Amino acid sequence: MSVMLPGASGADAFSSADPAMAPAPDMTRSFLERRSLTNHSLTLFLWLLALLAAVPLFSVLYMLISRGGARLDWATLTELPPAGFMTGGGIGNAIVGTLVMVGIAAAISIPFGVLGGMFLGLVAPDSRVAAAARFVAKVLTGFPSILAGVFVFGFLVLSMGTYSAIAGGVALAVGMLPTVMLTSEQALRMVPQRMKDAAVGMGCTPFQVAWKVTLPTALPGVMTGIMLAIAGASGESAPLLFTALFSSFWLESLVEPTASLSILIYNFSGMPFPNQIQLAWTASLVLVLIVLVFNVISRMFGTPKL
């Protein structure tokens, strides 16, 4: 049996005129066939799973907006936290504290992380030092972040005699460093060998190859890693517990206890006062928005065009 196509009567005539030609196979779509049923049901199943995976994210966002959105105004963003039974107040010092400590952490972890990534990806990728550093960095990415706080408590807070923004920043940097280093390494390794060959062929020294060609080419990937590390550090609370502690006042120096959004959420959510609990919700929303902004920025850098 030959399938009749619109306007294909000539072809049909041809096939019947040629006895050697086999009849055209039946290629019409049939929904009830077993193969087709399996295909459709599995596709549906995957869609359901994907939706299910999105449920926690969107329910958290919904809860934060519905409970914290009401207090998201200028006063909340700019005022100091209220005491005991006071009404009003805000989370201004915690926003500043979080940004300052993440800034300190970035200032430490980005140069060391990118340079470490260059060592792992370019300078001596197969050396024993690189293998050991890579292993340690991978272990560190899965390291309980509270231990970074304990480490910095023993190493900085005790020696300085005070909780401080610096100690908080260092503790966050401990968490950011392996992420920055490993993503930088990956981005640098993705630069094709033929581009490095071209640079060598132009008469570049190994340093010039790395500085003028490999690093600029890998920059989008490196930036993505940095932004993801910053987004992760912004939301950390455990490393700050023993290092920055908390403060109800504006940040005046880097060597005094410092407020942060995550610790404010932790402190205020446990209080018996509705005003503080309300502020904890709003602080959660603000924190999620900050993390979201860094994630969006990291997306904007995109993947390198190779």
Partner 1 sequence: MSVSFVETAAAAAVPAQAPAPAKAPEYAIRADIKSIHYGKFLAVRDSAVNVEKGKITGFIGPSGCGKSTVLRSLNRMNDLIPIFRLDGAVHFLGQDIYASKIDPVVVRRHIGMVFQQPNPFSMSIFENVAFGLRLNRYKGNVAERVEWSLRRAGLWEEVKDKLKQSGLALSGGQQQRLCIARAIATEPTVLLMDEPCSALDPIATRIIEELMLELKDEYSVAIVTHNMQQAMRVADTTAFFSVDISKGGRTGFLVEMGPTRQIFDAPQQELTREYVRGEFS
The Cβ of residue 217 has, within 10 Å, a number of other Cβ atoms equal to: 20
Helix axes 34-68, 274-301, angle to 10 degrees: 130
**Half-sphere exposure for 100 (CA within 13 Å, toward CB):** 24
Q: Between the CA atoms of 155, 158, 160 and 163, what dihedral angle is there, to the nearest 10 degrees? A: 100
Q: Does 222 bind partner 1 (CB under 8 A)?
A: no
As measured in angstroms, the least distance from the Cβ of 124 to partner 1 is: 12
The size of the interface with partner 1 (CB under 8 A), counted in residues, is 20
As measured in angstroms, the least distance from the Cβ of 117 to partner 1 is: 18
Q: Does 5 bind partner 1 (CB under 8 A)?
A: no
Is the Cβ of residue 6 or residue 201 nearer to partner 1 in the bound state?
201
As measured in angstroms, the least distance from the Cβ of 186 to partner 1 is: 16
Both ends of the chain: CA-CA distance in Å? 51
Residues 201-220 that bind partner 1 (CB under 8 A): 201-205, 208, 212-213, 216-217
What's the 3-state SS for 36-89? HHHHHHHHHHHHHHHHHHHHHHHHHHHHHHHHHHHHCCHHHHHCCCCCCCCCCC
* Interface stretch with partner 1, choices 33-41, 70-78, 110-118, 195-203 (CB under 8 A): 195-203
Is the Cβ of residue 65 or residue 219 nearer to partner 1 in the bound state?
219
Q: Select from 152, 147, 210 the least CA-distant residue to 184.
A: 210
Is the Cβ of residue 70 or residue 300 nearer to partner 1 in the bound state?
300
Is the Cβ of residue 159 or residue 193 nearer to partner 1 in the bound state?
193
Is the Cβ of residue 51 or residue 202 nearer to partner 1 in the bound state?
202
Q: Does 91 bind partner 1 (CB under 8 A)?
A: no
Rg (CA), the chain: 29
Interface residues with partner 1 (CB under 8 A) are 192, 194-195, 197-205, 208, 212-213, 216-217, 304-306
